[in-house]
A and B are shown apart, each in its own frame.
Chain A
Amino acid sequence: MAVLYHGEPNGPSLSVLAVLAECGLEDQIETRAINLLAGERHTIPGITEPLARDLGVEGEGPVLVVDGEACQESVFLAQYLDEAAGAGLQPKDAYTHWQMMMWCRRITERCAPAAAFLGNRAYATPVLAAMDDPSFDAITASIASADLRQRWADTRSGAFPETAQADSQVKIADAAALVETQLGDGREWLIGPLTIADFETYGWLVGMVDLMPDAFADRPLAKAWMARMTARPSVQSALARAGTAHPERVWAPGPEINRWG
């Protein structure tokens, strides 16, 4: 049986857990909660093919272990679950499917690194800063990716350049504006029918509402969409797995900001 290792229901862990429930696979795929900020993703037992876990672009996202192979990247895990279950969370029409993939790519390349930057700055840095050196060193020693290891070190030391901070805030505001515009024709979900794009976007943005309230202040359609997402039984099922009162405040180093600027 495949096993899904996940963090608190926030960010990519939230989107994949919600898709798991939306696909009706909760009884067929075992789930195990891990503490991402304790480095537990890097010591998952029984992995014979660790490449995607070690080099995942997403950083500290959920890991689905299938026959010893570590699978990562929340959009692709959602596609895997959807295709395994035949749940219909991807448009059958090729053009609409392209639109969904383009939307997801915009979220994972622009919104996700910005959200991870701001979320880690606010919530992960104090946790890692309070950690003693041997404990932190033990975590980083288990991380295969040199650039992910550097993001852990930057998070602990609070190395968040002001320019990157401002840029990240712009990108979150842009994402909120994008959602608002997309819903402007009265549609209920981002691509038309409910798709993986809704879950991926919700997972990364829901934790930004408290951190950047201004980005959502004049976005009634985006807020109503978020409320519809929150009300879905699949999202409620994912949120019910929380081990803390505020899972939206739990972050761990995520995708890097585009090196080209």
Chain B
Amino acid sequence: MSVALYHWEPNANSGKPMLALMEKGVTFDSHYIDMLAFDQHKPEYLAINPQGTIPAMVHNGRVLVESTAIMEYVNEAFAGPALMPDNPLERWRIRWWMKFMDQWLGPSFSMIGWSVFVGPMVRKRDPAELEAAIDRIPLPERRVAWRKAISGQFGEAELAESRRRVAFGIALLEEELGKRDYVGSNAYSLADINIFNSTYSLPLSQPDLAGRDKTPNIMRWLKRVYQREAVKRTWAMGRTDLAHRYSLIMEGID
């Protein structure tokens, strides 16, 4: 029954199964994959997940990939608190929000994040070493994405569209959290784990769009989720000062 999770920092896609496992009380072997060092494209990791994407989870000898699908598996395969409601309409709504984040809003967050953070970070490395690392990426679309990120080739129109979607998506989330305590229902669920992992940094990364005065519903929700014991234990697994920086923001939220 051993569980091994291959993950990067406890945010975005890696953070989803980490937090789901923590919420369910499932003990797992943590394998830190440094995305910025291209650990995910090295032979030892490709032997686990030939697609070279993170996260990946191994349970009972079976490899599972795709963060949202892994979370759904974790919720169904293990005992512990239910992370999906029983009501079919709420279940539909939670799935809808997760897809909206995974396929519409999330890619815009990551395009901006890669252009301002990942690209500049990895550009400091030796160009030949970078090219070799890109050539090892198994999925062609990921090769395209890495090339764009590393060389700063995101077009202005692409980035403008991403910024439009981020602003629009934040406004929709603010509206949603004005209707219900959590995303899609009045109980904490996989949708909260999914969306929290991609939005907790908004007060820092998008101060013009999100904050105590501009998005009070989001901020109340972020603090409610942030205060969960499972979040604190998950963030303690990170190698950055994320938890400390974030705690300073949350101190100012009622």
**Closest CB-CB distance, A169 to chain B, in whole Å?**
15
Provide the bound-state CA to CA distance between A102 and B140, in Å.
Answer: 19
Q: For residue A142, give the distance in angstroms from its CB to the closest CB of chain B.
A: 18
Contact (A95, B77) CB under 8 Å given A109-B103, A259-B107: yes
B245 neighbours in A (Cβ, 8 Å): none
Which of chain B's residues have a CB closer than 8 A to the CB of A105? 66, 69
A73 to B93, CA, bound (A): 10
Q: Is the CB of B145 within 8 A of A73?
A: no
Name the one of A52, A66, A146 contacting B164, with C-beta atoms under 8 angstroms.
A146
Any B CB within 8 A of the CB of A94: yes
Q: Could you give, for residues 138-167 of chain B, a 1 whenever the CB lies within 8 Å of some chain A CB and a 0 otherwise?
A: 001100110010000000001001001100
CA distance A77 to B92 in the complex (A): 7
On whether the beta carbons of A57 and B73 are closer than 8 Å, the reply is no
Q: How far is the CB of A7 from chain B (nearest CB, A)?
A: 20
Cβ contact of B141, chosen from A67, A94, A98, A261, cutoff 8 A? A261
B95 at the interface (CB under 8 A from A): yes
Chain A 46-82 interface mask (CB, 8 Å, partner B; 1/0): 0000011001010000000011010111001101100
Taking CB atoms and an 8 Å cut-off, the chain B residues in 153-191 that contact chain A are 158, 161, 164-165, 172, 176
Q: In whole Å, how far is A106's beta carbon from the nearest beta carbon of chain B?
A: 10
Return chain A residues, CB-CB under 8 Å to B244: none
Q: Quick check: B144 and A260 within 8 Å, CB to CB?
A: yes
Inter-chain contact B95/A79, CB cutoff 8 Å:
yes
**Any B CB within 8 A of the CB of A28:** no
CB distance from B237 to the nearest CB of A (A): 24
Report the separation of the CA atoms of residues A79 and B91 in the bound assembly, to the nearest whole angstrom: 9
Query: Any chain B CB within 8 A of the CB of A245?
Result: no
Q: What is the bound-complex CA distance between A206 and B65, given in angstroms?
A: 28
CB-defined interface of A73-110 with B at 8 Å, one 1/0 digit per residue? 10011011001100000000011011001100100010
| B residues 172-212 touching A (CB-CB < 8 Å) | 172, 176
List 21 A-B pairs, Cβ < 8 Å: A51-B176, A52-B96, A55-B172, A71-B89, A71-B92, A71-B93, A73-B99, A76-B95, A76-B96, A79-B92, A97-B72, A98-B70, A102-B66, A109-B103, A147-B161, A258-B107, A259-B107, A259-B108, A259-B111, A260-B144, A261-B141
Interface residues of B (CB under 8 A from A): 62, 64-66, 69-70, 72-73, 76-77, 88-89, 91-93, 95-96, 99-100, 103-104, 107-108, 111, 140-141, 144-145, 148, 158, 161, 164-165, 172, 176
5 tightest CB-CB pairs across the interface, nearest first?
A: A261-B144, A94-B77, A94-B76, A98-B73, A76-B95
